[in-house]
């Protein structure tokens, strides 16, 4: 875990908090990003960058009383959040969370998490059949459409085949 800043104060009446980063950097912030405040995890359900930091809306923190309890808590992130995507200027892995995975014009699922191997990063993709791990390699990733929140891929169709996914594929 990397400590990146702290909660300076509660903001407003609906449970928002003012996040003050140590280095002023906020490009890694994204909706659905999991952060740690002390020993508890929270998911960012919304945010906006403001002078000196960001206003965060955290899932499960819905009023001023709850957000007041977070004042002065240190904020830390998993170190792999800071992995910049190769070929994508300023885009971080965590910013792909929730993106639709599209293959041959068809939505196959959505990015639900990440994993790491010695060879490359993996995108965890939630599909109708469960979760698969898609290697984040140039051969599979055709294009990332940031504004549309889509990742267009070209990979072996077996990866999305129910028989293959359940371990029933025959060679």
Other residues' Cβ atoms within 10 Å of the Cβ of residue 119: 8
* Cα separations in angstroms, 22 against 7, 74, 95, 115, 135: 11, 10, 20, 26, 33
Of the chain, the percentage scoring pLDDT greater than 70 comes to: 85
Pair 76, 2: CB distance under 8 Å: yes
Angstrom distance (rounded) from CA 151 to CA 143: 6
**pLDDT beyond 60 at 170:** no
CATH number for the segment(s) 2-82: 2.40.30.60
For domain 93-165, the CATH superfamily is: PRC-barrel domain (2.30.30.240)
Mean pLDDT comparison of 78-82, 85-89, 95-99, 108-112, highest-scoring range: 108-112
Tell me: the pLDDT tens digits for 35-60?
A: 999 889 999 999 999 998 999 999 99
Q: What's phi and psi for 15, nearest 5 deg?
A: 90, 10
Angstrom distance (rounded) from CA 11 to CA 20: 12
- In terms of Cα–Cα distance, which of 47, 116, 104 is closest to 78? 116
Pair 77, 2: CB distance under 8 Å: yes
Q: Which pTM was predicted?
A: 0.54
Angstrom distance (rounded) from CA 22 to CA 75: 10
**pLDDT beyond 80 at 71:** yes
Tell me: the pLDDT tens digits for 124-143?
A: 898 888 888 888 888 999 99
For the record, the structure tokens of 50 come out as 């403001």
**pLDDT beyond 60 at 158:** yes
Length of the chain: 171
Domain assignments of the chain as residue spans, ordered by start? 2-82, 93-165
């Amino acid at each position: 875990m990397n400590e990146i800043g702290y909660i300076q104060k509660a903001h407003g009446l609906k449970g928002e908090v003012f996040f003050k980063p140590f280095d002023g950097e906020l490009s890694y912030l994204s909706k659905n990003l999991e952060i740690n405040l002390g020993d508890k995890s929270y998911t960012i359900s919304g945010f906006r960058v403001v002078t000196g930091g960001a206003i965060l809306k955290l899932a499960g923190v819905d009023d001023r009383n709850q957000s007041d309890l977070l004042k002065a808590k240190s904020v830390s992130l998993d170190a792999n959040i800071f992995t910049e995507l190769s070929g994508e200027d300023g885009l971080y892995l965590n910013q792909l969370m929730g993106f639709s995975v599209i293959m041959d014009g068809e939505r196959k699922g959505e990015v639900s998490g990440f994993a790491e191997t010695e060879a490359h990063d993996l995108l965890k993709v939630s599909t109708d059949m469960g979760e698969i791990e898609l290697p984040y390699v140039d051969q599979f990733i055709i294009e990332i459409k940031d504004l549309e929140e889509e990742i267009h891929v070209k990979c072996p169709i077996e990866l999305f085949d129910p028989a293959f996914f359940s371990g029933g594929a025959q060679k």
